[in-house]
Amino acid sequence: MKFDILTIFPEIFDAILGSSIIGRAQEKGLVSVDAHNIRDFSKDKHKKTDDYPYGGGNGLVMLAQPIYDAYRSIVKELDYKPHFIYMSPQGKPLDQKLVEDLSKHEHIILLCGHYEGVDERILEELVDEEISIGDYVLTGGELPAMVLVDAISRTIPGVLSNEESYEEESHKDGLLEYPQYTRPADFMGKQVPEVLLSGHHANITKWRRLQALRRTKARRPDMYEQLELTSEDKKLLKNNDDEVKE
């Protein structure tokens, strides 16, 4: 998976994505992340990348020309068109399903906007998809781009080790994760649930499923509504509806 990022702050990508799991994935050749400085493509003597909006108003708008030339420098030697994504609060909300769909692309270009956004003509000409990481506004699209790179990269086979595995985790089957415990069995007088120490694997599986169902119902009623409960799930909930805590 190849990511090319168009940004006015390329340094912050090297610092964050160069370390830890994504850094290791880059060394293994499973992922490559290249950040390109839009400012390098400015034709202005002051290397300007933005200007006042036509029609007036607050803030600045990013110029089309440096973004377009940065884009051309990436695609000029390619015989295909990479998937072009613009990170913006106006975009389609990101979820795990969208992450998995995006991971099917071999090559993604991410545009990070600033100020009041980007000249609309760039969006019409280049953008395949506008994506938002949530309903809040940040000072730039760089953090959202990093979120997207991280979320996509960890779905690529070989990026996560067995210990970190992508199987059986939050949002995979539309359920939140069950609670986890590790040593010691007693922490400040609080005990690990007995069933987890029992060694009875069928009971442990049932307990975890019940916890995941309850937690999803309590914290994410929107997700719970979308679930198709199996007859096993219904039995589990019915047999335990006396001891609800959450």
**Considering the rule CB under 6 A, would residue 63 count as an interface residue with ligand 4FD?**
no
Select the residue interacting with ligand 4FD from 26, 64, 69, 89 (CB under 6 A): 89
The answer to whether 99 contacts ligand 4FD (rule: CB under 6 A) is no
Distance between CA atoms of residues 33 and 5, nearest Å: 8
How many whole angstroms separate alpha carbon 226 and alpha carbon 241?
21
Which is nearer to ligand 4FD, 138 or 195 (by Cβ)? 138
Q: Convert residues 157-196 into a mask of x (bound to ligand 4FD by CB under 6 A) and - (unbound).
A: ----------------------------------------
Peptide bond connecting 157 to the previous residue in cis, omega within 30 degrees of 0: no
Report the distance separating Cα 88 and Cα 132, nearest Å.
5
* Binding of ligand 4FD by 123 (CB under 6 A): no
- Closer CB to ligand 4FD, residue 24 or residue 39? 39
User: How many angstroms from the chain centroid is the CA of residue 190?
Assistant: 34
To ligand 4FD, the closest distance from the beta carbon of 198 in angstroms equals 45
Show the tokens assigned to 85.
Answer: 């994504």
Q: Are 236 and 213 in contact (CB under 8 A)?
A: yes
In the chain, count H helices and then E strands: 10, 9
Q: Choose which of 5, 123, 141, 151 interacts with ligand 4FD (CB under 6 A).
A: 141
Interface positions with ligand 4FD (CB under 6 A)? 87-89, 113-114, 117, 132-134, 136-138, 140-141, 144
